[in-house]
Amino acid sequence: MNLSSRHVHEIALGSKKLGPISVLAPFSALIISITLVIFFLIRYYVLEGFLIRRIYGSIYTDMTELNRRGFINHHIAGVTKLIILIVAAYPFVSVTFGSGRFQTPFVKGSPVTLGDMLVVVAQMLIGMYIFELIYRAKLSPVAVLHHMGTILIGQSAIAISLRSLREQDAYIEFILCTVWGAFDIISEFFPHVAIILYRVFPDRHRFLSRVFLLSCFTTATGTLCETIVTMWLFGSLWSQWRLAFKVVTPLLHIAFSAAQVHGSIVFWRMHRRQQRYLQEKGDVEASCANKDDGKHCDHQSEEITTCESVGSTFPIAHTPV
């Protein structure tokens, strides 16, 4: 079956002429260096310097060093993804699904192009993952593989678009990377908020149960939508891919999807654990209400406190966000 004859006319990408992504592409190293410096300044002088302590007080100071690093990283990652989402929404939609090209001005009459904006936000996302790999004291193997894959694939997509190395499918390869990045940002933003809420309200089990369930839903839904859009683009542009990308692209997507599914499973388990805490607490309170023995009720109250203490020290399994 000739996929190109059936699908290539359905999207604008198939008719767009291959061209340079951005004049900023050769300066990717400089952009990512500036990004990492900014992350350091914000982390060291703003967040650790005064802001986190002023906002959270003893909630932050009572954390272990391991949890402090994770707490700060979730703030940096969450805010960075929100900025990327706001800045890159128009360039991404225009180039991927509309009539825009990389050389189209970001604003009418501006020398800044859509491609310039996409390169900058791509380096911001990559820089965020590099920062996390360096700064976090502990990461799950799935998170490490996810971050390393994102860094290498994102930089490779920009590198093969350079004039000296330009490949015929570099244009659409970069677009596909932006699709992966867009869904990663959208579906993985709320989990950052969820972990922050867990640290702030460790004993509100009913609230956390709902938060973790919503996080599980957003990551799972994001993975499903990402698969649909990615495979649609992949099939629609089948004739424009070289054999290497026809083989590698589905494998990469499976790897990214596996990491996101892992995150959904982690949040589902956290949701179920919070429900168990609620059930145990309810059973203890019901037992206490049915007993007239004051000593028995005091003993049961100690069990409630113990249950809540266990909940507040539950180690967060790092999701690939």
b or e along 50-89 (b: 16 or more beta carbons within 10 Å of the residue's beta carbon)? eebeeebeeebeebeeebbbbbbbbbbbbebbeebeebbe
DSSP 317: P
Q: Alpha-carbon distance 18 to 244, whole Å?
A: 19
SS3 162: coil
**Could you tell me the sign of the dihedral formed by the alpha carbons of 10, 244, 258, 71, in that order?**
negative
**Is residue 203 packed enough to be buried (19+ CB in 10 Å), middle (13-18) or exposed (0-12)?**
middle
Task: Identify the residue whose tokens are 């604008």.
Answer: 12
First-to-final CA distance of the chain? 38
Q: Alpha-carbon distance 142 to 279, whole Å?
A: 31
**Quick one: pLDDT at residue 237?**
85
3-state SS string for 265-307: HHHHHHHHHHHHHHHHHHHHHHHHHCCCCHHHHHHHHHHHHHH
| 14 CB-near residues (< 8 Å, 6+ apart) | 8, 236, 237, 240
- Residue 75 in tokens: 């703030």
**Quick one: pLDDT at residue 300?**
43
Low-confidence ranges of the chain (pLDDT < 70): 1-19, 164-168, 283, 290-321
| 244 CB-near residues (< 8 Å, 6+ apart) | none
pLDDT digits (tens, 9 = 90+) for 72-119: 999 999 999 999 999 999 999 999 888 888 999 999 899 999 999 999
**Quick one: pLDDT at residue 172?**
84
Q: Alpha-carbon distance 293 to 264, whole Å?
A: 44
For the chain, how many residues are written?
321
User: Can you state the percent helix, strand and coil of the chain, rounding each to 5?
Assistant: 80, 0, 20
**Quick one: pLDDT at residue 93?**
93
